[in-house]
Amino acid sequence: MRRAIALAEAGERADGAAPIGAVLVSDGTVIGEGHNRVGELCDPSAHAEIVAMRAAGQRTRQPRFAGATLYSTLQPCGMCTMASIWAGVRRIVYGAERNQVHQMYFEDRHFETMDFIRDAFRDDMQVTGGVLAADCAALYYGPGDDPPREAQANLPPDRSGGPTE
Annotated catalytic residue, options 9, 40, 49, 150: 49
Determine the length of the chain: 165
Single-letter amino acid code for the residue at 24: L
Helix segments in the chain, DSSP class H: 2-13, 38-41, 48-60, 78-87, 113-119, 133-137
State the angle between helix axes of 2-13 and 48-60 in degrees (0 to 180), rounded to the nearest 10. Answer: 110
Q: What's the CA gap between 40 and 78, in Å, rounded? A: 21
Active site residue 112: no
CA-CA distance, 85 to 155, in Å (whole number)? 27
Q: Report d(CA 134, CA 162) in Å as an integer.
A: 36
Distance of CA 19 to the CA centre of its chain: 9
Active site residues: 49
